Amino acid sequence: MTEFRFLYQPVDDLGASVDFYVDVLGFEEAWTDGDVSVGLWFPGRAGQVMLSTSGKPAGPMYLVESLDEWVAQHPEIALAVERDAAGMGSVAGFKDPGGNVFYIFDQPAR
């Protein structure tokens, strides 16, 4: 089962972007990962936007129990962004039929 968790949004200036989302759009800070990324709750807490300076393409992020299992079950889906660490788990980006990037991640140590 996949569960929507974040809308990943790359930014150049993390501080200015956080200020905009919080002060102008009314988002609330949920978590921070140093100078690289910040999670912000959507107003009404329907989900989070993740602002990040990592430079990866924008796209939704879905949580699964095991990234390895998900990849094994979906060999036909093209890899778009190489696997990387994500908190206590890992994340990889894939392309849908229209070429849009989406991310699958796990957090097994949580």
Burial 45-79 (b: 16+ CB within 10 A, else e): eeebbbbbeeebeebbbbbbeebeebbeeeeeeee
- Residue 48 token pair: 């989070």
With 0.95 as the threshold, say if the pTM is over it.
no
Domains of the chain: 3-106 (3.10.180.10)
Q: Which residues lie closer than 8 Å to 36 by C-beta, 6 or more apart? A: 14, 52, 53, 54
Q: What are the pLDDT digits (tens) for 57-106?
A: 999 999 999 999 999 999 999 999 999 988 789 999 999 888 899 999 99
At 105, which amino acid appears? Answer: F
Q: What are the pLDDT digits (tens) for 15-68?
A: 999 999 999 888 999 999 888 999 999 888 878 999 999 889 999 999 999 999
Q: Which residues lie closer than 8 Å to 42 by C-beta, 6 or more apart? A: 27, 48, 49
Q: Which residues lie closer than 8 Å to 97 by C-beta, 6 or more apart? A: none
Distance CA 26, CA 43 (A): 6
- Residue 79 token pair: 């890899």
- 1 pLDDT above the threshold of 70: no
